[in-house]
């Protein structure tokens, strides 16, 4: 039977997912991976890691470095060798 999770932890993961424009499951995996790298196994430690990741993501968004608009602009930029490329029908 799955364990009941802390609502504050779920809320932090949801805010992280919203900030990074990813799913909540992906945000929770991101927290789980960071916790595994640091060797944290307790729930309160995961909550602190989630808060730290959220603060880091918010600081990047505030600086404008990691916003979804900037990511889309970077993906849509034409490379120098592709500027004159034309697709024929």
pLDDT, position 84:
65
Buried b or exposed e, range 60-82, using 16+ CB within 10 angstroms:
eeeeeebeeeeeeeeeeeeeeee
How much is the pLDDT for 1?
37
Largest Cα separation within the chain, whole Å, is 59
List pLDDT tens digits, range 5-63: 788 899 999 999 988 888 999 999 999 999 999 999 888 899 999 999 999 988 877 77
- Are 12 and 50 in contact by the 8 Å Cβ rule? The answer is yes
Residue 2 has pLDDT above 60, yes or no: no
pLDDT in tens, 72-88: 676 677 666 666 666 66
Asked if pLDDT for residue 4 goes beyond 70, the answer is no
- pLDDT given for residue 81 in this prediction: 63
Q: For residue 66, is pLDDT > 80?
A: no
* Domain positions in the chain: 7-65
**pTM check: above 0.85:** no
Strands (E), 1-89: none
Under a CB-based contact definition with an 8 Å cutoff, are residues 41 and 35 in contact?
A: yes
CA separation for the pair 24, 11 (Å, rounded): 10
């Amino acid at each position: 039977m799955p364990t009941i999770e802390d609502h504050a932890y779920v809320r932090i993961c949801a805010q992280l997912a919203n900030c990074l424009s990813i799913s909540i499951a992906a945000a929770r995996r991101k927290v789980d991976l960071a916790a595994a790298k640091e060797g944290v196994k307790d729930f309160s430690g995961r909550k602190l890691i989630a808060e730290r990741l959220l603060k880091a993501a918010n600081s990047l968004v505030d600086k404008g470095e990691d916003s979804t608009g900037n990511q889309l602009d970077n993906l849509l930029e034409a490379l120098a060798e592709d500027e004159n490329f034309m697709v024929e029908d």
